[in-house]
Amino acid sequence: MESSLTLVVPVTAFLAASFVIFKLAMRRHGEPLPPGPPGDPFLGHLFRMPKGEPAQAYHEWAKVYGASTRTLALFCLQESEARKLVKNLVRCKDYNDYHAAINRFSTGILSRITTGHEILLPDDPYMTFSNTMLEIFSGTGSPGETPVDLFPILKHLPSWFPGTYYATIARSYQSMAQGILDFSVSYVEEKQRLGEAAPSFVLEHLENIQEGSSQVDIKELKDMTAAFFGAGRATTASTFAVFLLAMVHYPDCLSKAQKEVDAVLQGKLEQLPSFEDREQLPCIEHLMQECLRWFPVVPLGVPHRSIQDDVYRGMFIPKGSIVFSNIRGISLDESVYHKPYEFIPERFLASPEGPGEPKFTDAFGFGRRACPGLYLAQDSLWIAIATFVATCDVHPLLDSMGQPILPKLHLMEGIDAHPTDLRCVIKPRKRGLDMMDI
Ligand code: HEM
- Give how far the C-alpha of residue 245 lies from the chain's centroid of Cα atoms, to the nearest Å: 16
Q: How far apart are CA 20 and CA 189, in angstroms?
A: 54
Query: Which ligand 1 atom sits nearest the alpha carbon of residue 296?
Result: 5
Q: Please choose, from the candidates 279, 261, 298, the residue with its C-alpha nearest in 3D space to the C-alpha of residue 385.
A: 261
Predicted confidence (pLDDT) per residue in 192-249, tens digit:
999 999 999 999 999 999 999 999 999 999 999 999 999 999 999 999 999 999 999 9
User: Of all protein residues, whose CA lies closest to atom 43 belonging to ligand 1?
Assistant: 371
**Cβ < 6 A, ligand 1 pocket:** 110, 227-228, 231-232, 235-236, 239, 297-298, 301-302, 363-366, 369-373, 376-377
Query: Which pLDDT band, with edges at 50, 70 and 90, does 4 fall under?
Result: very low
Predicted confidence (pLDDT) per residue in 167-194, tens digit:
999 999 888 889 889 999 999 999 999 9
Helix axes 374-391, 218-249, angle to 10 degrees: 40
User: Of all protein residues, whose CA lies closest to atom 27 belonging to ligand 1?
Assistant: 232
Distance 237 CA to ligand 1 centre (A): 13
Distance 53 CA to ligand 1 centre (A): 21
Q: How far apart are the first and last CA of the chain?
A: 69
User: Of all protein residues, whose CA lies closest to atom 25 belonging to ligand 1?
Assistant: 232
In the prediction, which pLDDT does 279 show? 95
Q: Please choose, from the candidates 299, 256, 248, the residue with its C-alpha nearest in 3D space to the C-alpha of residue 405.
A: 248
Residue 371 marked in a binding site: yes
Distances (CA, A) of 184 to 101, 174, 196: 21, 17, 15
